Amino acid sequence: MPENLHRKPEPAKRPALAGVLSLGQLLQHSPTPMAALIEPGLLPASGILFVGGEPKVGKSILVANLALALASGFSRAGFHVPAARRVLICQFELPAAQFARRLAPMRSPIGEAADSNLLIDIEAAGHLLSAPRGLDHFLRAIRTAKADVVVLDPLYSTHDQDENDTRAMAALCQTLLRLRDASGAALIVVHHVRKSVGRHEIGSAFRGSSALHAVGDSYLLLVRPSPHVPTVELRFQFRYAPATEPRLLALDSETLWFEACTSTPAPVQPRRKVETTDVERALAVSGSVRFNQLRETIMNQSECSRRTAQLAIQRACQEGSIVQDNGQYRLPLS
């Protein structure tokens, strides 16, 4: 494919600046800043937004929401989209048919508004940004799509570098900059976070954060306040904009759209400690059972975690309140 295929027209170039300029001259020759593609300041024009969070918290669904909002020009979930944009999604986790099934319910509330502007690279899997041929593939796809915004979901599928190696991550980040600069497109990058994240960490929560800080313009962290509350908290960090207060979103299970949550989640009651008597009661109901079944019964009766139920069974055995016999657990014989 010719390298200049579907290349976006380049803007008229201003005279090159050289030498020493006064402040007035510098301001006169500097271009007017472009409005962000997603306001307030979430995705600057030709910027890089990193989206992260724990596994299964909804990162990919939220990013798909943002892609549809950008492609349709509709403002959703408290994010303002000033104008429709062409968006290319490069996702590496779902087969094309399964990804289509995810997008189908999201399309219902907006109709055909995003159909011509949202494009999917169904050949993205297997191409690595860290390899020259892979970078060429993504550049060709972006130019073919004439994309204003590119989604990379997730980042770890686009490279073969050690994310604990600062030098390797710095090299990968330079590749992201080359992709952005050569294509002229803004990037939305889904990335995972470290296992232990502090309450006030945002940009520093991402793997390889010391390198990411050199290239990211904004960071969006998804956190689930409680496993029992169907909401996520969004935390923001911007390089060029003031801090934004965290925001709560709730997922509509039918449309797969996140929507602004108007009420604060109800506080979660602390789990009650499981006593030996709870283990005895579970066996009194079920009789002689294997470990997994006993643990499941205790979890259902006491609304406790798997770990808590397991520890309660071990404690009851040590105290002699229950007996393990040939892989089965039972109450002691009278």
> Do the beta carbons of residue 192 and residue 52 sit within 8 Å?
yes
Q: Are strands 328-330 and 118-120 parallel, antiparallel or unpaired?
A: unpaired
For residues 189 and 194, what is the distance between their CA atoms, to the nearest angstrom? 16
pTM, rounded to two decimals: 0.71
Q: Which residues pair with 118 in a beta bridge?
A: 87
**First-residue to last-residue Cα distance in the chain:** 83
Backbone region of residue 113 per phi and psi (left: phi > 0; alpha: psi in -120 to 50; beta: other values)? alpha
Count the Cβ atoms, other than its own, within 10 Å of residue 179.
Answer: 20
| pLDDT for residue 121 is more than 70 | yes
Secondary structure of residue 240 in the 3-state scheme: coil
Condensed to tens digits (0 to 9), the pLDDT of residues 68-95 reads 999 999 998 788 999 999 999 999 999 9
Q: Which of 266 and 253 is assigned the larger pLDDT?
A: 253
Condensed to tens digits (0 to 9), the pLDDT of residues 313-327 reads 988 888 888 988 888
Cα 60 to its chain centre, rounded Å, is: 5
| pLDDT for residue 14 is more than 70 | no
CA angle 297, 299, 305 (to 5 degrees): 155
Q: What is the pLDDT of residue 269?
A: 47
For residues 329 and 253, what is the distance between their CA atoms, to the nearest angstrom? 40
Secondary structure of residue 244 in the 3-state scheme: coil
List the one residue out of 129, 134, 212 whose CA is nearest residue 175. Answer: 129
| For residues 303-314, average pLDDT | 84
Q: What is the pLDDT of residue 15?
A: 57
Q: Which of 85 and 25 is assigned the larger pLDDT?
A: 85
Burial class (CB in 10 A: 0-12, 13-18, 19+), 317: middle
Q: What is the pLDDT of residue 225?
A: 81
> Do the beta carbons of residue 301 and residue 308 sit within 8 Å?
no
Q: Which residues pair with 48 in a beta bridge?
A: 187
Mean pLDDT of the chain: 86
Q: What are the φ/ψ torsions at residue 141 (nearest 5 degrees)?
A: -65, -40
Q: How far is CA 141 from CA 6, 60, 135, 179, in A?
A: 10, 20, 10, 11
| pLDDT for residue 266 is more than 60 | no
Question: Residue 245 is which amino acid?
Answer: E
For residues 106 and 112, what is the distance between their CA atoms, to the nearest angstrom? 11
| For residues 292-298, average pLDDT | 86
